[in-house]
Amino acid sequence: MAESDATLDDVSPPPRTPEPPVAATVVDRPTEEREPVTGGESDDDRTGTARYVHQGCLRSWREADRKNSFYRCTQCGEKYRFRSSGIASFLGHRYAVALLTLVILLIGGYLLGFVADRALEFTERDLLRTNGKLSPSLINYRALGDGLREFSSTIGVIAGDCQWASAREEHWKVVNETWSPNPSSTATTTTTTNETAAEIGWMVSHRPVRRNLTSCGTYWHAGTDAAVTANPVIAFLLHCARGVALFGLVEAFLGNVHRFYIAVNVTFRMFRPNWLPEPAVPHVHYVQPLLAAFCMDFLTWTRRRLKANRQHGYLFAPLQVQAALTTAVAAGFAGHVAWVVAGWFIKKGLSQVQDLVVDLDEDGTLAAPSREKQVKVE
């Protein structure tokens, strides 16, 4: 008994291997539905249409080898060949996720690089006083700029760009010491900060200064750090690297804030359990920021010593190298986020890609254009 026609609604979807389920539509012309044949004509003599698909066609399609890219319907005798679009070939490539991740990092890093430059300038204004004190903060957001500075200066020295050399940061320096019976009489309008020592009448004047030559410029045999600049390509890559590192540090900072909120919430609920909602159990998406928070902890604990090294013109002190590597780890977390986003884009893109199924004649050549059919991946 000949196999009967079946609609796509009546046919269970084929397995995902080797090919996804398809629904055929005719290209550049409306679909002509064939009415059920009665009388002496057999169902095997009818050619499958957009609405009526032979069971033999579906079976042959399930068993088709994508490497050979064609199959023959055992019921109506027609031949078909898969022809993928260019975007489908790219998205199906084994390196598509890696390439798209690189594109996301370059674009996102370039845009965030401008924000990173402003963050570095803000860090410069966070001066370390002569007594070695810094502004206290429970969740020290300034550590973000310190880690970014060490990362930028380290890769800058290696790549030949001293724009953000660590020792370029401002610091306080004694510029004048005078003795006067009346300290107020020696104050001048050019003094930025006046600090009176323990002895009465001893005036010490300080003002912020900036080094114009560090070991970065010395390493590249230049008179000043400003004379050491990279070519446009290297400068662009360094700019993107600063943006990616900033994103990783921001993720670490948010993880630090979230961890602090959980600790405060749990502690407060021990005394007033009904005043605050119970914190939700961290989802798998929160694990990465919580792990990145340890990078922010290290930078917070070492801020003062990092600034002390920068005051003395050091660029590769052991603590500075550790801070640069810690920031690089945070940038790795940002790369993982870009990898996940790239995978999501490819998954969404493949669900919209259309492959072209072309009928072949008996000789294996393309049939008339009117025979072309398009199948959409569902």
| Its pTM surpasses 0.75 | no
CA distance 175 to 219: 28
Greatest distance between any 2 Cα atoms in the chain: 127
- H/E stretch holding 375 reads strand 373-377
Domain residue ranges in the chain: 6-85+353-377, 96-170+210-347, 171-209
- Could you read off the pLDDT of 5-30 as tens digits, one per residue? 444 444 444 444 444 444 444 344 44
Name the range with the highest mean pLDDT among 46-60, 158-172, 353-367: 158-172
What is the SS3 assignment for 354? Answer: strand
Q: State the pLDDT confidence band at 62, using cuts at 50, 70 and 90.
A: low
Residues 6+ apart with CB under 8 A from 298: 322, 323, 326
Considering only CA atoms, give the Rg of the chain: 34
375 burial via Cβ count (<10 Å: 0-12, 13-18, 19+): buried
Rounded to an integer, the average pLDDT of 229-246 is 92
**Distances, alpha carbon 191 to alpha carbons 132, 134, 197, 210, in Å:** 21, 21, 16, 16
Percent of the chain beyond pLDDT 70?
Answer: 50
Of 11, 264, 232, 305, nearest to 138 by C-alpha is: 264
Q: How many CA atoms lie within 13 A of 197 on its CB side?
A: 13
Residue 307 tokens read as 């600034």
Q: What residue spans of the chain are helical by DSSP H?
A: 55-63, 86-91, 96-124, 142-159, 215-219, 232-269, 284-301, 303-311, 318-350
CA distance 357 to 371: 10
CA distance 7 to 23: 10
CA distance 31 to 36: 16
Whether the bond between 18 and the residue before it is cis, its omega within 30 degrees of 0, is: yes
- Could you read off the pLDDT of 259-311 as tens digits, one per residue? 888 788 778 778 877 776 766 655 555 677 778 888 888 888 888 888 878 77
Q: State the pLDDT confidence band at 318, using cuts at 50, 70 and 90.
A: confident
Task: Provide the pLDDT for residue 367.
Answer: 44
CA distance 133 to 136: 9
Of 111, 113, 102, nearest to 239 by C-alpha is: 113
